[in-house]
């Protein structure tokens, strides 16, 4: 690794930290800008009770003091404060609870998307302009432009209501099959297209011709020479894929009633549970920013020729 | 007449009238073609893009024209007549069936316009709701892209043209906004703007008719989505401003604003149009996503996303109510994407080779 790469990595990390700080700050001030504050909208409470509640949650202090306290709590203690709606529970505990299910969901979906996407992409590239390539391209084009909530709803109708082979409720293990498929289809389609185009690119390179001229078998050329290099662009998709899965899980968990972080987030929005909204936004945002960072750095390290600036 | 070399004497042979052969040589083989016409020709050859284009035209026209003569309105609950108890027979009608009073009237020989997609749980004609939803989604997509275009264009061209500190500051801001997880921020802003006093702010103006939620959607787009557009424009301007004709214009005394609007922007217009075209499906996507989460348009106004979200409640009995908006959204987004791709292939000079 040369100094240029190190400087790039350093810059990239700095940007990521700055982004996280912006996320926390924006979230904090946007939430404080909501008229009425967190205790409005429910049944009318007396002035004294309102003041007592505000004192309890520290809302009576000056805004900047609240901000610095919040920043300190979040950064040093990972503490987002107590939830306003689920009495007696810390936001962090609810997030960790939800993450257990959501992480399982997301990781399996990502793994499926990667494996099937790469295989289908390679097949499409090797059978370029044949029937199978065309079928794969048509299907992936359709999947890429289909919103996750549409995909989820259609799968729900087809498999849970019409065919009745899979449960519609995602609170059991079997019930996670449909949400996982829903979340994996669009990234899979994207990875397929990515792999296909980069595979075609690699197959046109000189060293592949050299290998073929040397008499290397086609199978060895594909798996030993072409595949590894054509997977480099896929690395750049790790970050966007995680972002897609996170945002997709918000609606997918809603559709299939999965008890995960996405559903908790959406419920906290409709329930105006401000600490919960802030906490979840920050945790998910940090997750996405870190993943983007990792995939950018990995991309640079794997292929130092790439100039990212 | 023999001509001495280096002589400044005019060669009279050059002034002889052209023979028929010379004239035939000068005739153009085909009319000269402009860049735009070339692109159009390429676009016409692209069947996928053409089909997508006609689908977009048909969907758009029917979204605009159908409500004009359709006998039902999107917010009329057919079972409710003033002064009478609610007629529940109008709720949840299957396609091409009629409510109780309508059946009576049909028996008397009257012709009743059919409910092509039936009615929803509140007795509203579903077909016209889908048409209206399509209209809203298309309008949001179009205007949001327009906003993104205007902001991105302005900031991008200023950053690209000015360079130096201005460029540095703008691009660092762009970098940060670009690395924000956009959908999460959109949800956050939409959720807050929905609660805010936007409604009072726009009361009495034209904006009130559109509804506060759509306005907040536009605000969200204006804040978050201009960055990639301005990056693109900046890159274009950066490479264009080093060209000689810009130097010539500057030597002629042209100011910065003049050079940007008269020389630089027209030259990156194709890139701008293409990325705007590709921004529209993106905006429709986001709108339907937010509507699905309940952060989109104000009820009773439908959008394709909110229709799909409403349909989830009765999904086991009326699955077609979800399938219809789902198909319409996918069709719109898919054809806009394919048409945008076609535009790029036809008009991007870098790909022409």
* Inter-chain touch B195–A35, beta carbons under 8 Å: yes
Q: Mean pLDDT, to the nearest integer, of A135-146?
A: 86
Q: How many residues does chain B have?
A: 353
Question: Contacts of residue A271 in chain B, CB cutoff 8 Å?
Answer: none
* Inter-chain touch A281–B338, beta carbons under 8 Å: no
The pLDDT assigned to B320 comes to 85
Residue with tokens 């999460």: B184
Tokens of A274: 């401000």
Answer whether residue A109 shows pLDDT above 90: yes
Sorted by sequence, the CB contacts under 8 Å of residue B323 that are 6+ apart come out as: A154, A157
The pLDDT assigned to A107 comes to 93
The pLDDT assigned to A185 comes to 93
Answer whether residue A289 shows pLDDT above 80: yes
Q: Give the pLDDT confidence of B47-87 residue by residue, as tens digits.
A: 888 999 999 999 999 998 888 888 787 777 777 777 776 77
Report the C-alpha gap between B146 and B127 in whole angstroms: 29
Residue of A nearest to B192 (CA): A34
Question: Contacts of residue B288 in chain A, CB cutoff 8 Å?
Answer: 147, 149
Answer whether residue A308 shows pLDDT above 60: no
Quickly count: other Cβ atoms within 10 Å of residue B255's Cβ.
Answer: 9
Nearest to A123 by CA among A188, A199, A204: A199
The pLDDT assigned to B97 comes to 75
Q: Please provide residue B125's backbone torsions phi and psi, each rounded to the nearest 5 degrees.
A: -60, 120
Q: For chain B, say whether A308 makes contact (Cβ under 8 Å).
A: no
Nearest to A133 by CA among A125, A145, A141: A125
Ranges in chain B, pLDDT < 50: 352-353
Burial grade of B114 (CB within 10 A; 0-12, 13-18, 19 or more): middle
CA atoms within 13 A on the CB side of A77: 11
Report the C-alpha gap between B180 and B178 in whole angstroms: 6
The pLDDT assigned to B53 comes to 92
Sorted by sequence, the CB contacts under 8 Å of residue A176 that are 6+ apart come out as: A101, A104, A105, A108, A170, A258
Kindly tell me the sign of the dihedral angle through the C-alpha atoms of B338, B340, B345, B350.
negative
Q: Give the pLDDT confidence of A189-247 residue by residue, as tens digits.
A: 999 999 998 988 888 889 899 998 999 888 888 888 888 888 888 888 888 898 889 88
Tokens of B113: 């316009």
Tokens of B328: 């319409």
Answer whether residue A42 shows pLDDT above 60: no
Sorted by sequence, the CB contacts under 8 Å of residue A224 that are 6+ apart come out as: A216
Q: Mean pLDDT, to the nearest integer, of A5-18?
A: 89
The pLDDT assigned to B353 comes to 37
CA atoms within 13 A on the CB side of B292: 30
Q: State the average pLDDT for chain A.
A: 85
pLDDT grade, residue A27 (50/70/90)? confident
DSSP A147: -
DSSP B18: P
Residue with tokens 């995680």: A242
- Going from the C-alpha of A189 to that of each of A109, A112, B278, B299, the distances in angstroms are 13, 11, 18, 34
Is residue A204 within 8 A of residue A128, CB to CB? The reply is: no
Report the C-alpha gap between B218 and B225 in whole angstroms: 10
Report the C-alpha gap between A156 and B313 in whole angstroms: 13
Mind giving me the DSSP string for B222-283?
A: HHHTHHHHHHHHHHHHHHHTTSHHHHHHHHTT--HHHIIIIIIHHHTHHHHHHHHHHHHHHH
* Inter-chain touch B181–A284, beta carbons under 8 Å: yes
The pLDDT assigned to B2 comes to 57
Q: For chain B, say whether A34 makes contact (Cβ under 8 Å).
A: yes
Report the C-alpha gap between A92 and A283 in whole angstroms: 9
Q: Give the pLDDT confidence of A43-87 residue by residue, as tens digits.
A: 566 777 777 777 777 777 788 888 888 888 888 888 888 887 777
Report the C-alpha gap between B291 and B181 in whole angstroms: 19
- Minimal CA separation from A139 to chain B, in Å: 12
The pLDDT assigned to A189 comes to 93
């Amino acid at each position: 690794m040369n100094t240029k790469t190190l400087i790039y990595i350093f810059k990239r990390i700095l940007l990521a930290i700055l982004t996280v700080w912006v996320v926390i700050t924006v979230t904090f001030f946007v939430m404080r800008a909501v008229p009425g504050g967190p205790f409005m909208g429910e049944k009318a409470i007396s002035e004294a009770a309102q003041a007592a509640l505000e004192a309890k949650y520290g809302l009576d202090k000056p805004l900047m003091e609240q901000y610095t306290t919040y920043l300190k709590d979040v950064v040093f203690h990972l503490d987002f404060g107590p939830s306003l709606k689920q009495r007696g529970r810390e936001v962090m505990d609810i997030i960790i609870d939800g993450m257990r299910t959501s992480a399982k969901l997301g990781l399996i979906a990502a793994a499926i998307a990667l494996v099937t996407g790469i295989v289908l992409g390679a097949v499409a590239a090797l059978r370029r302009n044949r029937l199978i390539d065309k079928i794969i391209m048509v299907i992936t084009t359709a999947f890429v432009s289909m919103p996750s909530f549409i995909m989820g709803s259609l799968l729900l109708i087809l498999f849970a209501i019409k065919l009745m082979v899979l449960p519609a409720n995602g609170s059991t293990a079997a019930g996670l099959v449909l949400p996982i498929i829903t979340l994996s289809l669009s990234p899979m389609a994207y990875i397929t297209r990515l792999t296909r185009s980069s595979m075609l690119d690699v197959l046109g390179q000189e060293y592949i011709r050299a290998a073929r001229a040397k008499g290397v078998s086609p199978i060895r050329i594909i798996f030993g020479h072409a595949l590894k290099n054509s997977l480099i662009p896929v690395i750049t998709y790790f970050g966007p894929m995680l972002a897609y899965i996170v945002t997709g899980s918000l609606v997918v968990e809603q559709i299939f009633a999965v008890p995960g972080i996405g559903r908790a987030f959406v419920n906290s929005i409709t329930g105006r549970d401000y600490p919960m909204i802030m906490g979840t936004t920050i945790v998910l945002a940090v997750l996405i920013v870190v993943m983007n960072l990792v995939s950018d750095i990995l991309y640079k390290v794997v292929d130092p020729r790439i100039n990212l600036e | 007449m023999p001509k001495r070399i280096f002589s400044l004497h005019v060669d009279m042979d050059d002034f002889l009238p052209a023979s028929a052969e010379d004239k035939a040589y000068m005739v153009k083989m085909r009319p000269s073609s402009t860049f735009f016409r070339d692109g159009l020709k390429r676009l016409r050859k692209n069947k996928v893009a053409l089909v997508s284009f006609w689908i977009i035209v048909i969907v758009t026209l029917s979204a605009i024209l159908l409500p004009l003569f359709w006998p039902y309105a999107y917010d009329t609950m057919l079972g409710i007549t003033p002064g009478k108890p609610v007629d529940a027979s109008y709720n949840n009608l299957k396609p091409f069936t009629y409510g109780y009073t309508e059946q009576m009237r049909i028996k008397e020989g009257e012709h009743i316009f059919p409910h092509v997609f039936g009615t929803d749980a509140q007795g509203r004609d579903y077909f016209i709701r889908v048409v209206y939803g399509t209209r809203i989604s298309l309008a949001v997509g179009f205007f949001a892209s327009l906003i993104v275009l205007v902001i991105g264009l302005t900031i991008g061209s200023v950053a690209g043209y000015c360079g130096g500190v201005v460029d540095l500051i703008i691009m660092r801001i762009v970098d940060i906004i670009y690395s924000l997880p956009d959908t999460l921020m959109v949800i956050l802003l939409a959720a807050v703007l929905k609660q805010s006093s936007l409604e009072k702010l726009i009361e009495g103006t034209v904006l009130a008719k559109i509804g506060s939620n759509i306005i907040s959607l536009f605000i969200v787009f204006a804040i978050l989505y201009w960055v990639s557009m301005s990056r693109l424009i900046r890159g274009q301007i950066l490479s264009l401003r080093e060209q000689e004709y810009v130097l010539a214009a500057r030597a002629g005394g042209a100011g910065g604003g003049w050079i940007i609007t008269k020389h630089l922007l027209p030259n990156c217009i194709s890139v701008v149009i293409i990325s705007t075209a590709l921004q529209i499906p993106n905006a429709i996507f986001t709108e339907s996503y937010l509507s699905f989460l309940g952060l989109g348009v104000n009820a009773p106004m439908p959008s394709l996303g909110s229709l799909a979200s409403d349909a989830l409640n009765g999904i086991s009995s009326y699955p077609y109510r979800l399938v219809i908006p789902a198909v319409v959204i996918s069709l719109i987004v898919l054809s806009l994407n394919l048409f945008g791709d076609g535009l790029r292939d036809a008009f991007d000079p870098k790909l022409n080779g």
